[in-house]
Structure 1
Amino acid sequence: MSSINYNDKIPNNVNLSEDRTLQRALEHWQPNYRKWWNDMGPEGSQDFDVYLRTATSVDPQGWASFGYVKMPDYRWGIFLNPRDAERQVNFGEHKGEKAWQDVPGEHRANLRRIIVTQGDTEPASVEQQRHLGLTAPSMYDLRNLFQVNVEEGRHLWAMVYLLHKHFGRDGREEAEALLERNSGDEDNPRILAAFNEKTPDWLSFYMFTYFTDRDGKFQLCALAESGFDPLARTTKFMLTEEAHHMFVGESGVSRVIQRTCEVMNQLKTDDPARLREAGVIDLETIQRYLNFHFSVTIDLFGADESSNAATFYNTGLKGRYEETKRDDDHKLYDRTYNVLAVQDGRLVERSVPMLNALNEVLRDDYIKDSVGGVNRWNKVIEKAGIPFRLKTPHKAFNRSIGTLSGAFVSPEGVMMSEAEWVSHEREWLPTNEDRAFVASLMGRVVEPGKFANWIAPPVMGINRQPVDFEYVRFN
Structure 2
Amino acid sequence: MSIDYSEKIPNNVDLAGDRKLQRALESWQPNFLNWWKTMGPAVPTQDVYLRTAVDVGKEGWAQFGHVAMEEYRWGVFLAERGDDRRIAFGEQKGEPAWQQVPGEYRADLQRLIVIQGDTEPASVEQQRRLGETAPSLYDLRNLFQVNVEEGRHLWAMVYLLHAYFGRNGREEAEALLHRNSGDLDSPRILGAFNEETPDWLSFFMFTYFTDRDGKYQLGTLKESAFDPLSRTCEFMLKEEAHHMFVGTTGVDRVVARTAELMREHDTEDIAPHGGVPLDVIQKYINFHYSVSLDLFGSEKSTNAANYFTAGLKGRWQEERRRDDHVLTDDAASVDVVRDGVLTTDEVPALLALNHDLRNEYVKDCHSGLKRWNRVLEKAGVDRTLTLPHVGFNRHVGLFADHHITPAGELVGADAWEAKKDRWLPSEADKTHVRSLMRPVYEPGKIAGWIAPPTNGINGQPFDYEYVHLA
Normalised by the length of structure 1, the TM-score is 0.98
Matched, 1:31 2:27: no
Give 2:159's aligned residue.
Answer: 161
Q: Distance in 2 between matches of 1:99 and 1:358?
A: 21
Secondary structure of the corresponding residue to residue 301 of structure 1: coil
Question: Which residue in 1 is equivalent to 2:48?
Answer: 50
Farther-moved stretch of structure 1 (339-348 vs 292-301): 339-348
Where in structure 2 are there 5+ consecutive unaligned residues?
Answer: none
CA shift digits 1:188-211 (9 cap, x unpaired): 000000000000000000000000
Which residue in the other structure is 1:125 paired with? 123
Letter aligned with residue 27 of structure 2: H
Match of 2:446 among 438, 443, 451: 451
Over the matched positions of the two proteins, sequence identity in percent amounts to 60
2:316, 2:169 → 1: CA distance? 27
Partner of 1:358: 353
Secondary structure at the residue paired with 2:77?
coil
Report the residue type matching 1:26 in the other structure. L
Return the letter of the residue paired with 2:16. S
Q: Deviation digits for residues 417-446 of structure 1, max 9, x if unmatched?
A: 111121111110000000000000000001
Shift of 1:232: 0.3
Name 1:335's counterpart in structure 2. Answer: 330
Select 2:433's aligned residue among 432, 438, 451: 438
Cα offsets for 1:294-325 (capped at 9, x unmatched):
00000000011111100110000000000000
Tell me the SS of whatever aligns to 2:404.
coil
Q: Is the 8 A contact 2:181 2:194 kept in 1?
A: yes
- Given the alignment of the two structures, is residue 410 of structure 1 paired with residue 408 of structure 2, yes or no? no
User: For 1:213 and 1:124, how far apart are their aligned partners in 2?
Assistant: 12
Instruction: Tell me the amino acid that sits aligned with residue 78 of structure 1.
Output: V
Would you say the 8 A contact 1:398–1:406 is kept in 2?
A: no
List per-residue Cα deviations over 1:249-270 (Å, max 9, x = no partner). Answer: 0000000000010111111112
Q: Which amino acid aligns with 1:5?
A: D
Offset of residue 403 of structure 1:
1.5
Structure 2 residue aligned with 1:382, among 365, 370, 377? Answer: 377
Aligned match of 2:84: 86
What is the alpha-carbon root mean square deviation over aligned residues? 0.6
> Aligned with 1:337: secondary structure?
strand
Residue of structure 2 in register with 1:401 after alignment: 396
Give deviations 1:372-431, integer Å, cap 9, x for gaps. Answer: 111111000010111110000000111101121031111011111111121111110000
Correspondence 1:70-219 to 2 at 5 A = 70-219=68-217
2:112 counterpart letter in structure 1: I
Q: CA deviation at 1:341?
A: 1.4
Question: For 2:283 and 2:469, how far apart are their aligned partners in 1?
Answer: 35
SS of match in other structure, 1:189: coil
Whichever residue aligns with residue 28 of structure 2, its letter is W
3-state SS, counterpart of residue 204 of structure 1: helix
* Equivalent residues in 2 for 1:241-390, closer than 5 Å: 241-270=239-268, 272=269, 275-390=270-385
Instruction: Give secondary structure in 2 for the equivalent of 1:65.
Output: strand
The count of aligned residue pairs is 470
**Alignment correspondent of 2:6:** 7
Runs of 4+ in 1 over 3 A off after TM superposition: none
Amino acid at match of 1:428: W
Query: In 2, Cα distance between the equivalents of 1:48 and 1:349?
Result: 56
SS at structure 1 position matched to 2:128:
coil
CA–CA separation in structure 2 for the residues paired with 1:416 and 1:277: 34
Q: Deviations over 1:113-163 (max 9, x none)?
A: 000000000000000000000000000000000000000000000000000
The 10-residue stretch of structure 1 (132-141 or 335-344) with the greater mean CA deviation from structure 2: 335-344
Cα pair 2:205 2:288 within 8 Å, conserved: yes
Which residue type is aligned with residue 99 of structure 2? Q
Amino acid at match of 2:212: R
User: Which letter does structure 1 place at the counterpart of 2:228?
Assistant: P
Amino acid at match of 2:298: A
State the Cα deviation string for residues 350-390 of structure 1 (Å, max 9, x = none): 01111111011000100000011111110000101111100
| Contact kept in structure 2, 1:302 and 1:359, CA below 8 Å | yes
* Residue 82 of structure 1: how far off its partner (Å): 0.7
Query: Distance in 2 between the 1:402 and 1:453 partners?
Result: 40
What residue in structure 1 maps to residue 415 of structure 2? 420
CA distance in 2, matches of 1:422, 1:65: 51
What is the CA–CA distance in structure 1 between the aligned matches of 2:167 and 2:421, rounded to whole Å? 49
Could you give the per-residue CA deviations for residues 20-59 of structure 1, whole angstroms, max 9, x where no partner exists? 00000000000000000000000033x4300001000001
Match for residue 227 of structure 1? 225
Q: Which moved more, 1:194-203 or 1:334-343?
A: 334-343
User: Counterparts of 1:181 and 1:49 in 2: how far apart (Å)?
Assistant: 28
User: Aligned-pair distance for 1:85?
Assistant: 2.2
Deviation track 1:264-301 (CA, whole Å, cap 9, x = no partner) reads: 1111112x2xx000000000000000000000000000
Q: For the Cα contact (< 8 Å) 1:42–1:129, is it kept in 2? A: yes
Once residues 335 and 445 of structure 1 are traced to their aligned partners in structure 2, the CA distance between those partners, rounded to angstroms, is: 55
Distance 1:338 1:399 in 2: 19
> What secondary structure does 1:351 align onto?
strand
Query: What are the ranges of 5 or more consecutive residues in structure 1 without an aligned counterpart?
Result: none
1:72-131 per-position Cα deviation (integer Å, ceiling 9, x unaligned): 110000000111121000000010000000000000000000000000000000000000
- Please report the TM-score for the alignment, with normalisation by the length of structure 2: 0.99
**8 Å Cα contact 2:57/2:80 also seen in 1:** no
Q: Is the 8 A contact 1:279 1:453 kept in 2?
A: yes
Deviation of 1:60 after TM superposition, in Å, equals 1.4
Q: Structure 2 CA distance, aligned partners of 1:263 and 1:434?
A: 18
Q: In structure 1, how many angstroms separate the alpha carbons of the residues matched to 2:421 and 2:190?
A: 26
What is the alpha-carbon distance in structure 2 between the residues aligned to residue 397 and residue 354 of structure 1? 24
How far is the alpha carbon of 1:342 from its aligned partner?
Answer: 1.4
